[in-house]
Every structure is written in C-alpha cells, then in structure tokens.
Amino acid sequence: METLYLGCLALGVIFAVVSVLLGDLIGSALDGIFDVVSFHVISPAVLAGGITVFGGAGILLTRYSSLEDGPIVALSLLTAGFMGVVMYLGVVKPMDKSEMSSGFSMSELPGKIGEITVPVPAQGYGEIMVRFGAGNSLHTAASFDHQPLPAGIKVVVVEVQEGVALVSEFEQRRGEDL
C-alpha cells in the first residue's frame, strides 16, 4: 500500500514541477478534456492536488499511526477530498472569475471618454488616451467636428473609422461626475 501512496505523491510532485515549467503548453493541451463531465470542480489542478494529498496523507498515516490499511485509505481519501474542495474554493474558482486581460475591441471605443495626449488639428491626426479596465490605451484620433483639439482636454469617442477614433470635445454638465 505504501508503494501506491509514494506513487501518488511522486506523481503529484512531478505534475507540479512540470506545470510550473510548461504550464501554458499543458493548459492548452488539457483544455476541454474535462468538459465532458458537467462538474467544473474537476480541473487538472484540483485532481493533481487531490492525488498528491492522498499519497502524502497515506504515507504519513502508514508510518506514524497504528491504523490498519482500510481506515488509512478512508482517511487519506477524506483528506484528499477535503483539500480538493479547499483548493477549488480558495484558488480555482476565484481565479476563474479574475480577468487579467487588458484586451479590448475597437468597437468598444464609441462612447468612451478620453484625454487628448497629442493635439488633434482640424484636418489631421493626434492621439488620445482612453481607460480600459485597469489600464490605459493610446489611439490615433481625428476631430469629428473638424475643430482643433488641444492636449489635455477631455473628449468623447463618437465613432471609429479604419482604426482611427473620431472624437469630439466632451462637455461636462454642471454637477455631473466623470
């Protein structure tokens, strides 16, 4: 029985090392494998973590307790299940909801408020900075109204044509916050 526990522990440690070194490759290769099962709880990280905990708990209980094989297997499975749930609720589920992407689509620009960073002439191009999520993005801009726009003023993106944001000066009403 100890060989099974050592094998599970070693498998989990090897999986952890390989996933640290080749995580992106493994993630894309395993992506979708567990989609057949309707439980989102079964992910490679939770499964590997559970197998590792099963092996570690089995070794510890075998060496440091006077229990028979049956209760050791049962306690190891319970410990692995408990730690799997803890790992899912504490790591996997929160990470699924987090978003680290600063990606956006140009179709999201109309209606956004930005600031002129490079003056926009009446006929020509300048640059605006628009906030997307936690970051800022810079875009080529032209005046929608064909009026010169100095650096530092607030503008609203009216539309996007061929990758150029057409902007107009943003007129803030009294009492309104940006």
Tell me, what's the pLDDT at 36? Answer: 52
Instruction: Report, as ranges of residue numbers, the positions in the chain whose pLDDT lies below 50.
Output: 38
**Predicted pLDDT at 38:** 46
**Number of Cα atoms under 13 Å in the Cβ half of residue 69:** 5
pLDDT single digits (tens) 133-165: 777 889 999 999 999 999 999 999 999 999 899
pLDDT of residue 118: 95
Question: Residue 68's pLDDT is what?
Answer: 93
Give the rounded distance of the alpha carbon of 56 from its chain centre. 30
**Which two structure tokens, joined as six digits, stand for 133?**
């999520």
pTM tops 0.75 = no
